[in-house]
Structure 1
């Protein structure tokens, strides 16, 4: 992690030195010396091969740990210099300077400490150079070479559902399921980690035939630290029941009622312990018969036997064959050329790498994702193959060796992003936005050339998913990833490295990143000046119950950059807690989503001048955002979606010129002068994502969106709309022509907006229309003079009156690959199930009538 810490700090320092900030200028000589020393260190740390050979050296570990701590301290000093400069600027006029003289103590202590840090880093540099046998006078500028990787495959380039060589496994288990009759059929999928047990179970679980065969399906991830109650709650969530407040007996009765008389399938994924009393109690409460079945995946054959699996229904996945191994590798490593190796010199070394994976899918995917980012040169591939051989010499486990190598080969900024997964519990499903906002808030995301920070953060996420280090859980209709998780073997690696580098620790003590759950203890927070991020890591549909004595400790972590307390209930009034949060002046990301009961933001939060991301979504009781929000000039993202009591946003939002994401924007009416009118959006020229909540025509002003030349995503929701002029006014709300994705929700008109046509939106690739009164598309929708859409994915949902001819739609959308239509009974000419390729168009259709 030392190389990641060095790069992040150097980038921040380089930016700061160009800004001529008061206190930074005062210590410029020390900061420039620090910059020079770290650039030398960066050259040493870039020599990945040399470092890997020395990885287990306690001497090198000690040097790197000390270097990391010094850089973190220097980063805190730099942040304090910013705050001191800003405070003195505010006091620089008139008599205030006399009342508040310059902070002499701060200047003395800061100068002294910077000199000490520089001296120590010089000492470390000399010792590391000697230890690695590198001459001190050599220095290479590696930053540009590393940064080039940011632009390589910055979006998903292959299908994350890709499965190779498991067709026979899934067919075998499906046949068993269809044969089930009396009782409950138990099927076991048993094998070592990384062999594809969960993948096989997922393939069966999501199969269209299986989906039609079973009336109820439940997927339960059984972690090593589960409780019986958690298992039952997970089953009920699969059945659409939140099950809040019920005891174990009531939970089991509910499960029985939902399943009674139904044919159901339960997958118990990744069961570990042999103490299965919890399972026997649940099993006794399940209704029997009608061909119901249970699939258990486990590494331990005894576990499946104790859970009722007979030997005849126990499946042991085999290692992938040589051909299937090479095919899986090619599909990932050469994804940009559709799985074809176009460099003959690479095939031999590629097969050598694959052979070392021993037919284990997880290992093959990890090295395949790593090679996707390698230049297609023989020398680079040869170097990687040799490193893999060295890893296997130290660790004969090909999965862990491939994962370790994948981590070692990550660019520095992605190492920090990857280690952030260490704070989440096992099998936790994680929202992509939470990760991206965390990375931005803490400065993990490289900032260059005025590039959008949100876009750069999403590129970091793609960098991990493309390397197969992160698993995709849910995607939207347009294939954009919304949630993810990590394999338990990947998690083992993440936790080990994070603990070694004090990124996070299982006990949460004396570390810089901590997950917030109901089990967090106050001792993990008391006087922890190191803490940089507190993240809500509760699992989906669960909430944190935070005790008063714990909540008050948040504000003592003075260098906190990231505070996410979403999905939390507090014993003390939330207003009091947030008043103390105003003292966290380094805070960049504040997430209060789904906290209860949030009614107002206190005045003290006005001090958070470094705030870049504010998320108050799903706060149904929030009545108003304070006017001081307009002073958050660093703000990049604001989310106020699903805030039912919020009438409008305060006037002055047009001042937030750095805003890239604005979701849930409720414009004020002309009779509400204290509110923000939609015309203020014209100033927000950096907006990439905009979500509008419209209820009446008086909220809309003509041409309010045309200046938003960076806008990629636009959502318009008319939930709870009223007034006869809204539809006509929406017709005047022309989106910018470069729009990439459009979402219309609860649209009140019978006919689509006049601007929804291929001439006005020539770059549109994704369109979703959900709920509302839409019955037909405007004539302009069908194009003029042979104009056609570039739309690739289309979603129609809950549109009871919409009637469109499938053949006509195909004609005007020749690039269409995905159609998802549900609860649209008048779309009777649409295909009803997967039909594969038809006229070059792939239809994934979920049609209900």
Structure 2
């Protein structure tokens, strides 16, 4: 900056004692900076030496890879660590466990939704990782080498696989519960002769991001023969697998399968009808499978299904396709993502199907950029369930929002997201509600809606409880208090939150008092 040497302030490095105090404050926040475990303290001081007394390094130590929360929850469910408890579904239990780990500073949230803090990805502090590795070795949770990398052995119970992992040492293994591929676009070597083909004890198998490519080292028929022989398998992850075009009919042999993830498999063209014979399935993900035009008829047999991503609304004449009306018996459904395809039709008797899903909490409608009048009219007549808490509308080509996006129809909605529409210009009159019917929405997200015309005053009037707004590339919004042309955020000031909370408590008190008087 051109300043004189005597004007430069050079902060001194922290002493070992000062460094440990700062480190403890960050790493042991849940116990007020106190480390009660002598072994953990020894590990911590070893990590501290790497920081060289630099305060910023001490506070930010730990640059491990991110872990997707949905994937983590699925692993836990697949292993049987997490399960449904009372009215709480397994995924909700998993997210609550993760929140507990975050609050105890054992896991760090990396990406999260600003509206309510819902975590999308997380990672682990170096020090916690060191502690967990030690416990994992002692408890034989997984097999690790001298560099603390996963290694395959006859005693392995859980294994993370990369290109460098030698799988032959698995020969004779009867304990392996989880195998997770951690290298993207890996062309897996698999034939019936490899040691892995003899492992039958897996509960969790995640082959996401690998590549199926027929060769002398890989046979797709052999790998499917092995997968469908895993009778204990509860979780099968095949997200974004290259060259995966179909699943075999023998998938029905996985009678214990609870989670099947096929999202982003761009080459997947069809699913076998036998997939409807998986009695314990609770999650089916075929979202963003762009070559898949329909799901097989009979999905209503999956009576325990709680989450369905990527349901393709088919053409009325598509043979053997599952239609929207066929989902009406899925009473446990909590999450539903609808994908509109070219030629998709919503028949008259399907318009009220959604309102029968009384457990549904999250609905995504990917309208597929369909702009034909007949389809838009049918979309306008849909009846959503009152139970919805989150609604996502994407690639919608109407000029005005559907009339059912209204507070009197969705009186429990807490979060609304509308994305990617060049045609959308106005919020419908129903959207604005009335003095008697106001939105209970707390979070609003508007993205890539360049022609949407609505004012900040209109939004605030319709949504008095609004706490968070995220806006991106919505150039026609008027008088918003945040940026609208690029990326903007608005958060309700804390003092206003406190005032509104106090008003709510006062109203509850008056209502309770009134009921007591009536009694």
TM-score (norm 2): 0.81
Q: Structure 1: where are the runs of 5+ without partners?
A: 1-178, 182-310, 322-355, 370-384, 402-424, 843-849
SS of 1:780 mapped into structure 2? helix
Q: Which residue of 2 aligns with 1:467?
A: 104
Please list the CA deviations of residues 189-229 of structure 1 after superposition, one character each: whole Å capped at 9, or x if unmatched. xxxxxxxxxxxxxxxxxxxxxxxxxxxxxxxxxxxxxxxxx
1:395 and 1:747, CA in 2 relative to 1: closer, same or farther beyond 3 A? closer
> Aligned partners of 1:648, 1:315: CA distance in 2, in Å?
65
Partner of 1:830: 480
- Aligned to 1:468, the other structure's residue is in SS state coil
Which residue is 1:615 aligned to? 261
Cα displacement string for residues 254-273 of structure 1 (whole angstroms, at most 9, x for unaligned residues): xxxxxxxxxxxxxxxxxxxx
Q: Are 1:598 and 2:235 matched, yes or no? A: no
Q: Which residue number in structure 1 is paired with residue 505 of structure 2?
A: none
The residue number in structure 1 matching 2:75 is: 438
Q: Is the 8 A contact 1:736 1:761 kept in 2?
A: yes
Residue 275 of structure 2 aligns to a residue in which SS?
helix
1:575/1:734 CA distance change after superposition, 3 Å = farther
- The question of 1:781 aligning with 2:419 is answered no
Of 150, 155, 165, the match for 1:520: 165
Change (3 A) 1:524 1:450: farther
What pairs with 1:22-171 in structure 2 (closer than 5 Å)? Answer: none
Matched, 1:481 2:119: yes
User: Pick from 200, 203, 208: which aligns with 1:558?
Assistant: 200
Summarize the Cα distance change of 1:685–1:551 in structure 2 as closer, same or farther, 3 Å threshold.
Answer: farther
Identify the residue that residue 469 of structure 2 maps to in structure 1: 819
- SS of the aligned residue for 1:633 comes to coil
Cα distance change on mapping 1:603 and 1:398 into 2, 3 Å? closer
Q: CA deviation at 1:830?
A: 1.2
Distance 1:455 1:367, change over 3 A: same
Change over 3 Å in CA distance of 1:804–1:575 after alignment to 2: farther
Give CA-to-partner distance per residue, 1:599-640, whole Å, 9 cap, x none.
011123221111101011111111111000110010000000
Q: Is the 8 A contact 1:505 1:511 kept in 2?
A: yes
Q: Distance in 2 between the 1:784 and 1:498 partners?
A: 58
Q: Could you tell me how far 1:400 is from its partner in structure 2? A: 8.0
Of the candidates 3, 21, 24, which is equivalent to residue 360 of structure 1?
24
| Residue 368 of structure 1, CA deviation | 5.7
Q: Max radius of gyration: which structure?
A: 1
2:179 corresponds, among 534, 549, 557, to: 534
Q: Deviations along 1:308-333, whole A, 9 cap, x unmatched?
A: xxx97777479999xxxxxxxxxxxx
Provide the C-alpha distance between the structure 1 equivalents of 2:12 and 2:119, rounded to a whole number of angstroms: 31
**Per-residue CA shift, 1:77-100, capped at 9, x if unaligned?**
xxxxxxxxxxxxxxxxxxxxxxxx
State the shift of 1:398 in Å.
9.2
Cα distance 1:552–1:645, how it changes in 2: closer, same or farther (>3 A)? farther
Q: Deviations over 1:424-447 (max 9, x none)?
A: x97111110111111111101144
Residue 458 of structure 2 corresponds to 808
- CA distance, structure 2, for counterparts of residue 682 and residue 432 of structure 1: 29
Q: Secondary structure of 2:71's partner?
A: helix
Alpha-carbon distance between aligned partners in 2 of 1:686 and 1:784, rounded to the nearest angstrom: 33
Correspondences of 1:262-281 after superposition (within 5 Å): none
Cα distance 1:543–1:314, how it changes in 2: closer, same or farther (>3 A)? farther
Matched length: 457
**Per-residue deviation, residues 552-604 of structure 1 (Å, max 9, x unmatched):** 54332111001000011245243441232111111110011111110011123
Task: Name the structure where helix makes up a greater proportion of residues.
Answer: 1
Cα distance per residue 1:679-710 (max 9 Å; x no partner): 12211111111100013562352101111111
CA RMSD across the alignment: 3.0
| Separation in 2, partners of 1:446, 1:557 | 25
1:794 and 1:318 map into 2 onto residues whose CA distance is: 48
Task: Tell me which residue corresponds to 1:739.
Answer: 388
CA–CA distance in structure 1, aligned partners of residues 370 and 169 of structure 2:
48
Mapped partners of 2:490, 2:355: distance in 1: 40
Q: Please tell me whether residue 499 in structure 1 is matched to residue 137 in structure 2.
A: yes
CA distance in 1, matches of 2:17, 2:339: 51
